């Protein structure tokens, strides 16, 4: 861990080598921080990754900047990068300070004697580790985390403060859980003695009768959650355990804050799920699917691999692979554009009709 009191400095040559960039050097500069051009000083590498920030280089106090390929400046040194955002990621790792943790068990933590902890595991303040839990080497469990019975946690994981892991969850290597994540809580699954309003509406397209005396019974969840390697899950996201099978999150998938993934869902590898997405139970999502913010998905839907679902789409049915979906109800983008054009033509026809409506009346 980098000492917060010791400022690390890098030469422009070192930074250029790290990002694989092209250095145009005007003078020697030692870089100790990163920042946007307008907030940069002489020891800051200005990050000018888009047109607005490139324009701001004329006003910066920085002596050096990271820029896209083809961008140069007569005023300051530049490091040109083919993929500036990728280069920024590499640099941020240089200056990033991970959460403070110390190998070993904090005195206020409760660890069941049957739990198995690997080498260099860190257990923070007020953590609860239940019976038969296994935690791989170098994993860090920060303050106030609860880990239920028989949970398996891989190596080099980082669980931020306040996470809750339900019984029997299986979590792979290098998994990051941000603050307040809930894994393997009970699914939202209930049943009534007689057909309820939703069942009637699905069957007959209408609400049949008053069900004021209907009793609702909880369906217990006996499955759990399986999370693959290199998954990151954002703050306050909830992933429910399966009813009789496991909910699965594929390796390399990244999930944003405030996402809800229902019971029995199967999420593929390398997916990107953005904030406030809600995925109802028993959905199957292919590999490398991108689901933008505030998308809602009905239950038992299948989405093929390499599909992109645009923000605020309402997905009510299944779609094959390599689709771009938009709208509510969601549809392929080409159909959506066609529908918009048709609506525009209809609007034009209505306006024309209004021009001659008085003639018809006469």
Radius of gyration of the chain (CA): 27
88 Cβ contact partners less than 8 Å away, ≥ 6 residues apart = 34, 47, 49, 66
Within 48-156, strands assigned E span 64-68, 77-81, 104-105, 110-111, 116-117, 122-123, 128-129, 134-135, 140-141, 146-147, 152-153
192-201 burial: b if 16+ Cβ within 10 Å, else e: eeebbeeebe
Cα separation, 163 vs 238, in Å, equals 10
Confirm whether 358 is a catalytic residue: no
Cα separation, 78 vs 353, in Å, equals 61
Going by their DSSP bridges, the two strands 238-240 and 331-332 should be labelled as unpaired
**Structure-token pair, residue 63:** 């002596």
Active-site residue among 106, 112, 263, 358?
263
**Structure-token pair, residue 154:** 């891989």
Cα separation, 285 vs 253, in Å, equals 11
β-sheet with 238-240: strand ranges across: 110-111, 128-129, 146-147, 164-165, 182-185, 238-240, 260-261, 278-279, 296-297, 314-315
Contact 184, 240 (CB under 8 A): yes
**In this structure, is the dihedral angle defined by the CA atoms of residues 351, 353, 355 and 357, taken in order, positive or negative?**
negative
The half-sphere exposure of 357 on its side-chain side, counting CA atoms within 13 A, is 7
**Structure-token pair, residue 314:** 């309402």
290 has which bridge partners?
272, 308
CB atoms closer than 10 angstroms to residue 213:
7
Catalytic residue numbers read: 263
């Amino acid at each position: 861990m980098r000492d917060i009191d010791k400022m690390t400095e890098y030469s422009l040559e070192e930074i250029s080598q790290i990002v694989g960039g092209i250095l145009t050097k005007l003078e020697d500069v030692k870089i100790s921080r990163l920042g946007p051009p307008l907030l940069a000083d002489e020891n800051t590498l200005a990050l000018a990754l888009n047109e607005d920030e490139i324009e701001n280089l004329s006003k910066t106090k920085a002596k050096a900047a990271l820029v896209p390929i083809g961008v140069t400046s007569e005023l300051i040194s530049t490091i040109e990068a083919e993929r500036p955002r990728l280069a920024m990621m590499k640099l941020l790792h240089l200056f990033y300070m991970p959460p403070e943790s110390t190998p070993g068990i904090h005195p206020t933590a409760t660890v069941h004697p049957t739990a198995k902890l690997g080498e260099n595991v860190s257990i923070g303040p007020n953590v609860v580790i239940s019976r038969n839990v296994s935690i791989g080497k170098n994993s860090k469990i920060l303050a106030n985390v609860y880990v239920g019975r028989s949970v398996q946690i891989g190596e080099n994981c980082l669980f931020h403060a306040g996470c809750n892991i339900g019984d029997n969850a299986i979590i792979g290597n290098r998994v990051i859980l941000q603050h307040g994540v809930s894994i393997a809580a009970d699914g939202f699954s209930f049943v009534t003695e007689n057909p309820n309003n939703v069942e009637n509406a699905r069957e007959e397209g209408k609400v049949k009768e008053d069900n004021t005396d209907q009793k609702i019974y909880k369906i217990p969840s006996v499955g759990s959650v399986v999370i693959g390697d290199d998954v990151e899950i954002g703050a306050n996201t909830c992933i429910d355990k399966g009813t009789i099978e496991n909910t699965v999150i594929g390796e390399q998938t990244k999930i944003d804050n405030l996402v809800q993934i229902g019971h029995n869902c199967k999420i593929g590898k390398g997916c990107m799920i953005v904030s406030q997405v809600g995925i109802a139970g028993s959905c199957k999502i292919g590999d490398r699917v991108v689901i933008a913010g505030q998308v809602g998905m009905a239950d038992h839907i299948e989405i093929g691999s390499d599909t992109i679902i645009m923000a605020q789409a309402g997905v009510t049915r299944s779609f094959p692979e390599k689709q771009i979906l938009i709208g509510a109800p969601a549809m392929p983008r080409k159909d959506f554009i066609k529908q918009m054009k048709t609506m525009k033509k209809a609007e034009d026809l209505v306006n024309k009709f209004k021009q001659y409506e008085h003639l018809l009346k006469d």
